[in-house]
Amino acid sequence: MTFQLGLTGSIGMGKSTTARLFAEAGCAVWDADAAVHRLYAKGGAAVGPIGQAFPDAIEDGAVSRQRLKEIITRDPKALKQIEVIAHPLVAQDRAEFLRQTQADIAVLDIPLLFETGGEREMDAVACVSIDPETQRRRVLERGTMTEEQFETILAKQMPDAEKRARADFVIITDTAEHARAQVQDVIREIRERLRHA
């Protein structure tokens, strides 16, 4: 049996780094964002259906995320339509990953896990967290978004305190060493549970 650990956390909290630490420790890691990239790439399963709904979103045989953003900005209702197309395909990708994995622990990196009710499908949830000042600094230092865009994303995400309260494990990503030690503790605890299952 593979234990399904949901990994979540708001933007800039260190989720990707934490997912890498789980992978280095021998866990199988599935990344929801990477799955969307695969589905949107040339030949990806989402290209046809999204192209039918939004012909403008297709560029060079792939779904352009930039064009999708522009479509959603013009018509906020478009987001619902895109989700109706993409969510089942992402779920299929995840199911396929779980079917193939040999690992005892599968870490499912899903940014909006609580927001979409995905925690119900998990055996446990780990939430990454950091103080708001560090979070803001990390996001803005990437240079990929403005302060305004950051605020917009934050507004759509469940507050960090609520995510921490609902999670089974909280991983504080203040330093790499501290994060690694907590990841190892989580893995130890899960393997202990699996032994007694």
Query: Considering only 37-51, 123-137, 140-154, which range has the smallest mean pLDDT?
Result: 140-154
What does the domain layout of the chain look like in residue ranges?
1-27+105-197, 35-102
In the structure, what pLDDT confidence band is assigned to residue 185 with cuts at 50, 70 and 90? very high
What does the pLDDT look like over 88-121, one tens digit per residue? 999 999 999 999 999 999 999 999 999 989 999 9
CA-based torsion, 194, 104, 169, 95: positive or negative: negative
Question: DSSP alpha helices (H): ranges in 101-142?
Answer: 132-141
Q: What's the whole-number mean pLDDT along residues 32-41? A: 95
CA dihedral for 103, 20, 164, 145, sign (positive or negative):
negative
**What number is the average pLDDT over the span 24-51?**
96
pTM: 0.90
Q: For 1-27+105-197, CATH number?
A: 3.40.50.300
For helices 78-100 and 32-40, the axis angle rounded to 10 degrees is 110
Contact, 7 vs 20, CB < 8 A? no
Percent of the chain at pLDDT > 70 equals 100
